[in-house]
Structure formats: structure tokens, C-alpha cells
Amino acid sequence: MFHEIDFILTNCLRLFHNVGVIGESRFNIGSDHRLVRATIAIKPKEERKRLAAYHSKRIRYELNEETLKTLAATVDFTGGSGNVHTRYEKVTSAIRTVVKDASQRVKSKPRERLSEVTLQMLATRKELGKTMTPVARTVLNKAIRVRVKNDYREYAARRAREAAEKATSIKRTFISTRLKTTTPECLTKADGTVLRNRKDIEEEIRTFFQDLFSSKVHVEAYSEPSEGENDKSDKEEWRVLESEVMQAIRQMKSGKAPGPDQIRPEHLKCLKEVLARPLADLFTEMLDSGIVPKDWLSSHTILIHKKGARDILAKYRPIALLSTMLKVFSRVILNRILHILNMNTGKEQAGFREGFSTIDQIHVISQLTERCREYRIPLCYLFIDFKKAFDTVEHQAVLNALTAFGVPRRYVEMIRKCNTSCFTDVNLYGNPTRIQIRHGVRQGEVISPMLFSAALEIVM
């Protein structure tokens, strides 16, 4: 046969390099085919790490809350003496230690979606192997496919019923039951060039996000009030109360992925009684000194596909996995300044506000359209779609809005330090790419929606 393509087939592309064809002058095989040659480069150390990571996915840890509370009663979470960085490291290290000691290693079931009947059919096919006749194998394969399809449907229905009975998130349950989506094997640049080499793809990721997170507009700083104005001199006025910390922890959503500190919201919720006082003292010291831990400036960014082609980076939403302790601190600050932000935000803004809904705005537009049509009054609509809205708002624009709203200067300064000089590691293919963040509010932080809304209010 002519025009046949010779290739090397593999499911591990990273091991193959320098794929090429040897010409007839060097090696003649007596046909129109060509000898294909490739270099296999195996790094044993990296492969062992990958193998260990693969097996670790099969093993999960279950947290015993009673054991955690018992162990926490014997641990000092105050962090002792020292500066903010030292105390923060001691507190987070103590939390991770007691969580690890209170967790039990449980081997997960890799095929929990399949029924016993289906698993038995798979075992039978494996046991018989080549002794089966082609007809028998075809019939068995078809029966297995039907059983697997039905098992997946029954598994999803069972998980949905359990979520409804427990009044948990149906959306999160749906996401957990769907099959995993594969990472794109190539990326398409803005000029249409398709990248398939891993180094080229990583360089495109770096270029794309450096351009996305780089500041392109200079925003003048808002004229700040004179010293003592819009501020309080008594340090006791800034003291964070235990009740504020406990409320912030209760407001956190469970089931969220941890950030660089590897602490989950469930851990803090279980330990909130013993952590309330130490965290309140630590947060108070941060407000007094104006120092934030270095951990809070870093994050891990994951890419969530929105819609459209999967090989275009613009079709992904970057979500920052931040430190859980930062989220608690941000929630405390947000609870304190929320009434100021609400007072300065127009009633037309329904996004990210408790007690407001865009349904009201849609209803108003519908009524207005109906009346204008009835009385034959000209009506114009203007729809504005912000491209990468959270990622492109300037830091100084946010700070100017907060200052104009009358937010106390110390809170503005803490928000500035938590959102500037930050960097993130974008991990799409297992090799993190570090990106400096020069503008934008980080998606994943509780205060970010209100910061974006405040900046938008000034513009509009």
C-alpha cells in the first residue's frame, strides 16, 4: 500500500525525543516505508516520583474529628514569642501536625462506580484471556460496555439522592461524578500556531499569564487624608476579637482545595474553639505592625475550562488556591468594612451583595421594555462585557476606591500588602510556572468580589 504513515505509538510522550526518519541511503528496507527512530530519555529519579504520586492518589486520609479535638487540647497554638513570620509558621506547623496525627490512612476504591456484577465480568474476561473464542469475547465485551454505562448512571443518581437528603451542594456532587477531563496535548497561539512541544507550551503559558497579570495602565493615587484623619490612634480599636475569628471560620465554605499552607477549612472549623484566641492575637499584631506572612503572597493557580476549544488558554479561568489562614483574615477585614462598601455602592449594583439579586434588574429591564413598546418610546440598551474582569483591574484603582469610600487607612494598607508583590505558580502539565502578579484581584479570595465591585462603582 502507498502513502502509509510510519510512526511511533506511545502513551508517554515525555520520554520520546528526536523522532526522525532514516533515509534509504542509510537503511533500505525494500519497500516504500521508512525506518522511524526516536531517542528514549528516562530520568529514574523523576519517574520514581511520578510512580509514587500515582500510587498516593489511590490512598486517602480520613480525619477523625474527635481525635483531632483531643490532640489539639494538648498543643500550644499561640506561636510563642517572635515576629509575625515566626509566630505564623509555628501556628500553621502546629495545625498541620495535629491534623496529620488525627488522620487515618484509608485505601480508596478505584472502581467504586462499578457494581460487583460488572467487576466479576471484568475478572472473568481477564481470567479466560486468549482461551475465549472471538464470538464469545465480542458478546462479553458488549455486555460489559452496557453494564459499565448503567453502573455510571446509577452511581450518579445515587450520589445525587445522597446530596439531596443531606442538603449538600448538588453542583459539587455533579462535578465529582463526571469523568475527568484530560489535559490538552497542544496549545494554539493567538496567531493560529499550534504548539505540541512541552517546552514551547510552557513558554506560551508563561508569556500568556505574564501579559495577563502585568500592569499596562498607570493610575494616580487618590489624595489621602491628613495624618490622624480617617484613622484611629487607639490600638484597642483594632484588636481582633475571638468572636470575629469564629464567625469568619464559620462563614468559610467546606470542601475547598487548600493553598500553600495545606490547611483546609474543615480543619479550622473543627479547631475553632482552640484557635480563636491565638489567631485573634496574631491578626491583631498584623494590623498593628502592618506585616503579613510571606506565605500569603504566594498561591497555586489552577485553570478551569469555561467553554470553547480546550487548546486555547483564553478559554480557561485562572483560580488561585490561597492560604486558608489568609481567607480567615480577609473575612475578618471584610466583615468590618462591609457596611462602608454597601453604603457607597449604588442600589443598581446587585452583584456580589447579600440580599440583592440580578433577577430584580432583569425584571426592571423587562418592565421598562414592555412600557416603552406599549407607548412607542425609543429605548437603547448598552451591554458591557469585561474581558478577564478580575484579572485586569488595577491595584491602585481598587485602593483609590476604598480610600474614597472612607475605609480606614489601616485596612486599605493591609489590603494593599495582601494583593501587591504577589506571585503564583501556574501548573498545567506538572511543571509549575512562576508568574509575578502586578494587577488584578485574585479569584479565590473572599474579599476580591467586593474589591472589584468597589473599583467598578468609581468608574461607573
If asked whether residues 148 and 26 sit together in one domain, one would say: no
Please give the pLDDT value at position 15. 81
**Residue 14 lies inside a defined structural domain of this protein:** yes
**Residue 47 lies inside a defined structural domain of this protein:** no
If asked whether residues 264 and 308 sit together in one domain, one would say: yes
3-class DSSP state for residue 159? Answer: helix
Q: How far apart are CA 226 and CA 452, in angstroms?
A: 26
If asked whether residues 246 and 338 sit together in one domain, one would say: yes
Angle subtended by helix axes 84-101 and 65-72, to nearest 10: 140
Query: Per the structure block, which three cell numbers stand in for 10?
Result: 506511545
- Position 188 pLDDT exceeds 70: yes
**Residue 182 lies inside a defined structural domain of this protein:** no
Segment 439-447 mean pLDDT: 85
If asked whether residues 338 and 219 sit together in one domain, one would say: yes
Nearest to 325 by CA among 177, 407, 446: 446
3-class DSSP state for residue 58? Answer: coil
If asked whether residues 162 and 293 sit together in one domain, one would say: no
If asked whether residues 208 and 299 sit together in one domain, one would say: yes
If asked whether residues 220 and 241 sit together in one domain, one would say: yes
How does residue 345 score in pLDDT terms, banded at 50, 70 and 90?
confident
How does residue 1 score in pLDDT terms, banded at 50, 70 and 90?
very low
If asked whether residues 172 and 253 sit together in one domain, one would say: no
Q: How far apart are CA 18 and CA 5, in angstroms?
A: 18
CA angle, residues 361, 364, 370, in degrees to nearest 5: 145
Give the E-state strand segments of 179-296 in sequence order.
187-188, 194-195
Q: How far apart are CA 138 and CA 82, in angstroms?
A: 71
* % residues pLDDT > 70 (the chain): 90
3-class DSSP state for residue 21? Answer: strand
Q: How far apart are CA 413 and CA 290, in angstroms?
A: 8
Please give the pLDDT value at position 54. 65
Cα torsion through 203, 256, 443, 404, rounded to 10: -150
**Residues 394-417 pLDDT 10s:** 889 999 999 999 999 999 999 999
Write down the pTM of the prediction.
0.77
- Position 224 pLDDT exceeds 60: no
3-class DSSP state for residue 339? Answer: helix
If asked whether residues 305 and 214 sit together in one domain, one would say: yes
Q: Which domain holds residue 9?
A: 1-42
If asked whether residues 229 and 342 sit together in one domain, one would say: yes
Q: How far apart are CA 431 and CA 144, in angstroms?
A: 38
**Residues 44-67 pLDDT 10s:** 888 887 777 666 555 677 888 899
Contact 214, 438 (CB under 8 A): yes
**Of 73-82, 153-162, 181-190, which has the strongest mean pLDDT?**
153-162
